[in-house]
Each structure stands twice: as C-alpha cells, then as structure tokens.
Structure 1
Amino acid sequence: MTEKIYVIHENEEWTTHLFKRLDELELPYEDWFINEGLVDLNETPPEGVFYSRMSASSHTRGHRFAPEMADSLLTWLEHHGRKVFNGTRALRLEVSKVNQYMALNAAGIRTPKTIAANGRAQIIKAAEKLDVPSFITKHNRAGKGLGVRLFHSIDALKEYLDSEDFEPSIDGITLIQEYIQAPEPLITRCEFVGGKFVYAVQVDTSEGFELCPADACRIDELMCPDGEQTEEKPKFQIVEGFNDSIIEKYEEFLRDNEIAVAGIEFIRNSDGDIFTYDVNTNTNYNADAEAVAGKYGMLELAQLLGKELKKSSVSV
C-alpha cells in the first residue's frame, strides 16, 4: 500500500491551497476532514505522514468538538509512532491562550499582562486587579479575533458584560489583557515551516482585530461613495529582509513545544519593545502579499511534507 500524506482539519476553505500545492508536486495525500468520526484504538494507523490543521475557532463553523476528536486521533497516531506534524502538544497550545502564554514565558518570550477569569464578577475583578489605563478582552479558545474588545474604563466593561454583545468564550474563560499601544496600527506575524522562519508579514490593524490572513477571511476593499475604488495600503505586506533576535527565540520555542508549522504574532510598543500575544498552529497565508514578495508558505509546507514522506517511505 502506497504511503500518503494525511491532512487532518475541519475547514475545507483552509486546505484548498495546500492541496493545490500537493497536486503540483504530485504527492499522494488523503483529506481527513474531522468533525464527527471515530478512532478505533484497537486498530493500527496507516503508514504515512500526518499533518494537523485543527483550529481553535472550529466551533464558529459548527464543529464544536472537532478539537477534542482531533486530540484523540493525534494521541492514537503518536502512540503508534507515526510522524505527526503539529501533534497533541501543538493542539494543546492552539486551543488555549493561557497555555500559549505560559509556554512563551517559559521560553523567555514576553507576553502582555493577562488574567484569566470565569464569570461576570470575576471578569470585572480581573480588570480591576490588572490596573492599567486600557485593556482588552479576548476568548481563551479563540482565533478570528473572537471576543476581542478594547476598554478604557471598568464601567465600559460592565456595560459590555450586561449587553447582548457579550459573547462568552466557548471554554468559559475570558482573558483580560493589558492593551499595548503601538505607535502605528500595525502588528507583525512571523511564519514558520518545519520550525524555521520563512517570512514576516506586517498587518494593518486600523480596521479592527480580524487579522486572519487567509483569502476566505479577507475584508473587501473599501469603496468611495461614487463607486471608484480608493487607493489603499494593502492590509498584509511581507517585510523584506526582516531580521530580529526574536526569531531565534521563536524557533527555540517551537522546538521545545513540538510545533512544526505556525504563525506567531507580536506588537511593539512606543519604546520598540516586543510583546508576543498569539501563536497560530493552523497558520494561513495571504495570496496577494505572497505574490508581491514571491514567497509561498503553502509551497514550503507541501515540500516539507513531501520530503518527510520520501524519508518515511525509504525507512519502511
């Protein structure tokens, strides 16, 4: 039986570009869409290479228990010694920002001051305890900017919590986090494949916190009232020649946490200090930004999977 690359995921829109690259390289693969399903612990998994793209925001697409199902599947694969990219350790960090921040801090990487809380009274208490001029809320199991709101007072937070706009995190944990004021509305997202730095992309945050670079998440270009399109700076731009000491720390962090593929986001304050606030282990790439720079994350990923498949086939 021919060995394959198995892609584990719950969102078809995020696998289209990867499958296209695998087809271009003529690599055998199988689509393992995992929402409902079963894992027979009495059986042995197929031989091959396994790559997980499980997302923390799966519940927003009606796949509430997909991460839990994926965890069972990945545990089974790892038990049988299969080569898994972004396995159980990566998934644990994907579905919990608390776990992310503790792992980042353990690697000597600075994160914004954060308090986790469950329940209205505790969320307010957390904001009071944080004691900063401005703060944001966000979901612990997030992605897609879920639950991200900016506040400048406790009263504004209370009003939000009592309104219909308040949406609790799917795991019940809301994070209260200090707001890092950047001199410009920009964040930087560093992309890694095989645990190695590929490129950094600068993201314009002036339109809000929806920062997913996937084509399916792109915000339409703003239009003038007369119907003529405005000339605007692209929301996503790859930074040429990006070279910062944080990259070495990120690569060490990825090694320590068995994460092969990730996008790590940071923001700089007015003093130039870096604060890392998100690790995306099901990273996506912006096609327009990549076309301009001539760098392609999904191609790098497909080549990585192909190289590992070849190595695995030789060893059998």
Structure 2
Amino acid sequence: MTDLTIVYEHDQWFEPLFAALQRRGLPYSAMRAGGSFDPNCPAPSRVVLNRIAMSAILRSAEQPIFWGLALFDAWERAGAHVLNGTATLAVDTSKARQLSLIASLGLAIPRTRTVHRVADVAQAAEAIGFPLVVKANIGGAGAGIARFDDRDALRAAIADRTLPGSIDGTLLVQDYVPARDGRIMRIETLDRSYLYALDIAGAGAFDLCPADACQRPDGAIRMNAVEPVEPLRTAAEAIARAAHLDVGGVEVMIDDRDGTPRFYDINALSNFVAKPLDVLGWDPHEKLVDRLEAWIAESR
C-alpha cells in the first residue's frame, strides 16, 4: 500500500498541488475519476484525497460524483483514511443538507423551502415571498440558479419548464438575499481550522467559481484577500467541523436589509487561487502538503 492517492476530475485545477508535492518530494499517485472498480478491492493507499467537484455536472453528463461516493465508501471500509470522504460528500452533494447543518449550529441562513416536485414550487414561493431564487440541490460554480422577481415570472418558468434542474430531482426555493455592497466572502479551512478568506465582489451568489482563474474575462468578478471578523471565522470553523470538512470553503454574505451574516454554501473542493502570491502573498498549497504529510504519518 502506498502513502497517498489523489482522485481528481478537473485536468487543470490541481496542477499547482501536484507541483507542490513534487517540490517537496512527497510520493503520490494521481487517479482521474472514471473507469471501474471492484467493491471488494483493497484501498490503493493509506491516505486518499478526494478532489471531485460538484461542478463536474457542467463538464460531463457522465459526472463521477456518485461513482466517487461508492468508491470512497469501499476504500474507507478497506481501511483508508479518505480526506473529504463519504461523510463530507453526504453534505457536499446536498445544499439542503448544508442549510440544515448550518442552521443547527445557530447560524443564520436564507429563508428556504426544499421541494422535489415542480408542482410544489409555486406554493413554496408563496411561503418565501419575492424576489427569490430557485436553486438546484446539487450544483457548482453557480450552476442551476435562477432569480424570479414576481409571481408571474415564476409561473411562466414553471409552465415553460425552464426552471433549473438538479441531478437528484431536488430544488431549493430561497429568499433572494441582497448581499451588502454586492460582496460575498469565501472562508477556506484546512483540517477544520481557518486558512484564509477571499472577498468576492460582483458575483452575488451567482456564477461563482472560487478560484481567481475562473473570473470572468470582463473583470466583473474581483477577488481580494481579507481577514474575517472573529465571529465569522469561528462560525466557519464550526461548520467545517460539523461537515467533517478536511479541506474546503464556507460562503457567507451580509444581508444588506439587516446586517445579518447569512451562511449559504459549504464547498468541499478548494481549488485555491490561481496566483496565490499575488492574491494572498503566500501559497496555500504548501500548507496543504504540510497537513498531508502529517495525515500520512498519523496513518502509519
């Protein structure tokens, strides 16, 4: 059994991580998600790092999300320490579960109704009020989100069958929260502890990709390093612990109507920023490699 296997889905996002591992001389095997596996197979390594993104649904109809969930379950049963494993994926694959988890910690979330039938969307909307958004329960990079400002626009979308869809057949009808100054914050964590935070302007809760490599060519989305106030930092760490999040981000926005921080997304994929020295002044991949070395040592 080797020490480290990284299972990934996006061809470019993890090149900086692979480069950091090579600089440090830490042996690893990289496995692109896909193919087949024996449910009775031994785990390939002591430590496995799951890097499958929910936004895989945007890149292929044959996304590996649920295949990966079965794979990591088999490897966990075979004794591997899977980072962002099945417990984390159970949260990552459901925005509804994320909101329940966040609310259970006493933190504010947008008013939400979870539905599984399009026929129930209109009734849920009446409970929420307008403007509102309809979201896919499983999405990535802003996939499957539509805003509706009034009842007629929503009814037209229902009639035309143009509502967002989710691969699990579940939708969220959610209050549209006006983010103060059009900004949201992405708080990154490593091993349930604060790592860094980004102030993201111009996106609201739509079309968001957490790496500056995914910014729009027109510069509409701008990202800068920021230090969150202590209550937000503490809240993000509590969410990471509850979600069994080994590495990943938590997103929050300040409701411009009343100043309430509303947490709305847990993302188990941290692809970090593309130019960390420019944006952060340091490279978070180095800290991730430090922790991978420690996890490997703990697994022996």
State the TM-score, normalizing by the size of structure 2: 0.91
Number of aligned residue pairs: give it.
299
SS at match of 2:186: strand
**In structure 1, how many angstroms separate the alpha carbons of the residues matched to 2:234 and 2:144?**
31
Summarize the Cα distance change of 1:168–1:190 in structure 2 as closer, same or farther, 3 Å threshold: same
- Give the deviation of 1:118 after TM superposition: 2.6
Matched, 1:205 2:202: yes
Matched, 1:5 2:14: no
Question: Over aligned residues, Cα RMSD in angstroms?
Answer: 2.2
Matched, 1:39 2:38: yes
Please say if residues 135 and 164 of structure 2, whose CA atoms lie closer than 8 Å, have aligned partners that are also in contact. no
Which string of whole-angstrom CA distances, capped at 9 and with x for unpartnered residues, describes residues 18-47 of structure 1?
111111211111112112321341x32234
Which string of whole-angstrom CA distances, capped at 9 and with x for unpartnered residues, describes residues 44-88 of structure 1?
223421111122222221153512111112112221332221110
Summarize the Cα distance change of 1:101–1:28 in structure 2 as closer, same or farther, 3 Å threshold: same
Partner of 1:74: 72
Summarize the Cα distance change of 1:259–1:299 in structure 2 as closer, same or farther, 3 Å threshold: same
SS at match of 2:82: strand
Partner of 2:51: 53
Partner of 1:104: 102
Summarize the Cα distance change of 1:296–1:167 in structure 2 as closer, same or farther, 3 Å threshold: same
Please say if residues 238 and 290 of structure 1, whose CA atoms lie closer than 8 Å, have aligned partners that are also in contact. no
- Give the deviation of 1:290 after TM superposition: 4.8
Which string of whole-angstrom CA distances, capped at 9 and with x for unpartnered residues, describes residues 220-277 of structure 1?
135xxxxxxxxx8x711111x4332132232223223321111100010123211000
Summarize the Cα distance change of 1:64–1:273 in structure 2 as closer, same or farther, 3 Å threshold: same
Alignment of 1:1-316 (within 5 A): 3-41=2-40, 43-62=41-60, 64-130=62-128, 132-163=129-160, 165-206=162-203, 209-214=206-211, 216-221=213-218, 235-239=222-226, 241-270=227-256, 271-288=258-275, 290-312=277-299, 315=300
Please say if residues 212 and 284 of structure 1, whose CA atoms lie closer than 8 Å, have aligned partners that are also in contact. no
Summarize the Cα distance change of 1:110–1:39 in structure 2 as closer, same or farther, 3 Å threshold: farther
Read off the aligned partner of 2:156 and give its amino acid letter.
E
Summarize the Cα distance change of 1:309–1:206 in structure 2 as closer, same or farther, 3 Å threshold: closer
- Give the deviation of 1:187 after TM superposition: 0.3
Summarize the Cα distance change of 1:176–1:164 in structure 2 as closer, same or farther, 3 Å threshold: closer
**In structure 2, how many angstroms separate the alpha carbons of the residues matched to 1:253 and 1:183?**
22
- Give the deviation of 1:152 after TM superposition: 1.4
State the TM-score, normalizing by the size of structure 1: 0.87
**In structure 2, how many angstroms separate the alpha carbons of the residues matched to 1:206 and 1:56?**
19
* Pair member with larger Rg: 1
Please say if residues 180 and 253 of structure 2, whose CA atoms lie closer than 8 Å, have aligned partners that are also in contact. no
Q: Which runs of 5+ in 2 are unaligned?
A: none
Partner of 1:228: none
**In structure 2, how many angstroms separate the alpha carbons of the residues matched to 1:292 and 1:308?**
28
The percentage of counterpart residues that share the same residue type is 27
